[in-house]
Amino acid sequence: MDFLTLIQILDSTVRLATPLLLACLAGLYSERAGIFDIGLEGKMLAAAFFSAAIAALTGNVWLGLLAGIVASMVLSGLHGLASITFRGNQLISGVAINFLASGMTVLIAQDWFRQGGRTPSLSGGARFSPITLPFAEAVEDVPVLGPIYSELISGHSILVYLAAASVPLTWWVLYRTRFGLRLRAVGEAPEAVDTAGVSVVGLRFAAVAICGVLCGIAGAYLSTALQAGFVKEMTAGRGFIALAALIFAKWRPWHAMWACLLFGFLQAVALRYQNIDLGGLVIPVQVMDALPYILTVVILAGFVGKAIPPRAGGEPYIKER
């Protein structure tokens, strides 16, 4: 494997890891506040559809992004309503959201566009186009660092940089602000937060809303930046891989980024090489595809460190039993 191939694989890794990272951080906010969210997939799918649909109708990708975020937040609100206000089972509510998004997107797409559950192809201003960072062309010929800057770091759509920036931002919010402290506390010991006079319901809804925003961006990235339109079920399980990455990262923002990059890298390698030949030992491509899940199970089983979820995760908060 020469240097240029490596750069190309890493470039592909960045593109594949971005939706995972956004969804993973979305899940992180929600789960750190004690709301398990397996509806990441559904929210991404709904956002992917609405951002592509509105971008196709208006020709403006920013309006599309906004629509995607709103759609995702509506589903988040639904999840919050079911699992926070009415104290329903969070897993069931999440599954319901996945089903709802899967059916609703195709139905609405068929009604609006009559193209069999997809949106028209987007072009021009209806898509996020790659951004060339300053000096990218000037340094192209510098050995090693030149290609790294011009190929790997430059030339992605703005949402990729947004995703990268949201990692330190999430760290800062969670560990350096009052809101973050309360958010983490509400996932560990909601009764303590309540005793301190802070609204558990309010905090949890705030976390779920942030989750909606990030899932919305992830979905919009899939349909308006990576692709030029929505196709049914286009998230193809990325919401679940993001959940696996979240567990793999043990619910920490920087680790989440590395986990998503690792999973993205595995996918990129699997896409580049059908079978990997390690001197006599051939690793079939299916192994690479399954590796994220295998790694997650290994982590969950406690072989490598231990993944301990937030203590109050999955349980609705009831004041005074």
Angle, vertex CA 184, rays to CA 183 and CA 189, nearest 5 = 105
Q: Give the footprint of another protein on residues 119-138 (CB under 8 A).
A: 121
The helix (run of H) or strand (run of E) holding residue 318 is none
The alpha helices in 38-133, defined as continuous H runs, are: 40-58, 61-80, 90-113
Name the one residue in this structure whose structure tokens are 């990059």: 261
Q: Which stretch binds another protein (CB under 8 A): 37-45, 156-164, 269-277, 313-321?
A: 269-277
User: Is residue 237 a contact residue for another protein (CB under 8 A)?
Assistant: yes
The helix (run of H) or strand (run of E) holding residue 284 is strand 281-284
Crossing angle of helices 158-176/3-32, nearest 10°? Answer: 40
The helix (run of H) or strand (run of E) holding residue 262 is helix 253-272
Tell me the closest approach of the beta carbon of residue 170 to another protein, in angstroms: 24
Indicate which single residue of 63, 139, 198, 232 sits in contact with another protein (rule: CB under 8 A). 232
Tokens of 94: 């999440």
User: Is residue 5 a contact residue for another protein (CB under 8 A)?
Assistant: yes
User: Is residue 219 a contact residue for another protein (CB under 8 A)?
Assistant: no
Tell me the closest approach of the beta carbon of residue 107 to another protein, in angstroms: 12
Q: Give the footprint of another protein on residues 282-311 (CB under 8 A).
A: 285-286, 289
Answer positive or negative: Cα dihedral of 289, 79, 208, 48: positive
Query: Which lies closer to another protein via its Cβ, residue 74 or residue 291?
Result: 291
Q: Which stretch binds another protein (CB under 8 A): 83-91, 208-216, 219-227, 303-311?
A: 219-227
Count of residues that interact with another protein, criterion CB under 8 A:
30
Query: Which lies closer to another protein via its Cβ, residue 69 or residue 234?
Result: 234
In a 3-state reduction of DSSP, which class is residue 154? coil
User: Is residue 276 a contact residue for another protein (CB under 8 A)?
Assistant: no
Indicate which single residue of 34, 80, 94, 117 sits in contact with another protein (rule: CB under 8 A). 117
Distance CA 73, CA 119 (A): 21
Tell me the closest approach of the beta carbon of residue 311 to another protein, in angstroms: 35
Tell me the closest approach of the beta carbon of residue 194 to another protein, in angstroms: 43
The torsion angles phi and psi of 274, rounded to 5 degrees, stand at -70, -50
The helix (run of H) or strand (run of E) holding residue 282 is strand 281-284
Which residues are near another protein by CB under 8 A?
5, 8, 12, 15-16, 110, 115-118, 121, 222, 226-229, 231-234, 236-237, 267-268, 271-272, 274, 285-286, 289
